[in-house]
Amino acid sequence: MPEDASAIPQMHATDGRKPVLSPTRITTYLECALKYRFIYVDRVGRYFLRARSYHSFGNTLHQVLQSFHAGGGKQSVEEMTRELAHRWISAGYVSRAQEQQHRELGQQILTTYHQQQQERDGTLVRTIATEKTITCDMGPFKLLGRVDRIDEHPDGTLEIIDYKSGRLETSPEQVAGDLAMNIYQLILSRLYPDRAILGTIYCLRSGVQASASQTAEEREAFAQDILALGQEILSRDYSTVFPIPLAICPDCDFLPICQQYWEEHGRG
């Protein structure tokens, strides 16, 4: 789940604190270094970033599921539905019809989720954390993640569950290749070196889920890659990063800035 850019220390800390990287920040950088600059260096995102229905929908569901597990998983479907209405976030929907469709979809998702959780009763798997921030020290920076859920299995295995509200399907290969999931597993393995760590992507719309885990060798190789990438992000001179047309541009919130730059430099 993406973190609030204002809720954690700035990437380029100037007050003596160690800088912080997260899956959201790393993904933003890999997607577009200029977008990263606007959000985390120049910090002008609040002027341009628009509310998105998928963010509102996902955040609403996360809050309802957190409440469900905080109550020991004892809420009925009706109680979860009332919680959905109470915690509903309306920002970003383009019409009342679209918003109503998502309300109905939310109810369907909660019904499926509740049923699967009831089927899990008696397996001795227990949820030990929801919406939890975890962090570890990587030397030049801290690596931070916010996990949707952590389950503990009878053999001591810790399972990280990452909710996806917009997906219908997933596979072990997709879990193994997911940047955020690998970061979560890395952090948790540093915090609990004596535990086996498992990552699971849970598609809320369909109830489909898949899992994967890293070997110790894979995790160490990934750690070295993240360390190198983090150092690149930290050391880059963002004053030299300028707009260049990319395929993702049409839907980018910062497109007006780039268009103005292209016009002023004869590229409009």
Task: Report pTM.
Answer: 0.89
Q: Give 92-134 pLDDT, tens digit per residue.
A: 999 999 999 999 999 999 999 999 998 887 788 999 999 999 9
Distance CA 51, CA 243 (A): 23
What is the CA angle 22-36-148, rounded to 5?
Answer: 30
The CATH topology of domain 124-236 is Lambda Exonuclease; Chain A (3.90.320)
Q: Give 169-185 pLDDT, tens digit per residue.
A: 999 999 999 999 999 99
Q: Give 17-69 pLDDT, tens digit per residue.
A: 899 999 999 999 999 999 999 999 999 999 999 999 999 999 999 999 999 99
pLDDT at residue 13, rounded to an integer: 52
Strand boundaries in 49-176, DSSP class E: 126-137, 142-152, 158-164
Distance CA 119, CA 191 (A): 30
- Enumerate the domain spans of the chain: 50-121, 124-236
Give yes or no for a contact between 40 and 2, defined as CB atoms under 8 angstroms apart: no
Cβ-in-10-Å burial (0-12, 13-18, 19+) of 206 comes to middle
Phi, psi of 214 (to 5 degrees): -90, 145
> Mean pLDDT in the chain?
91
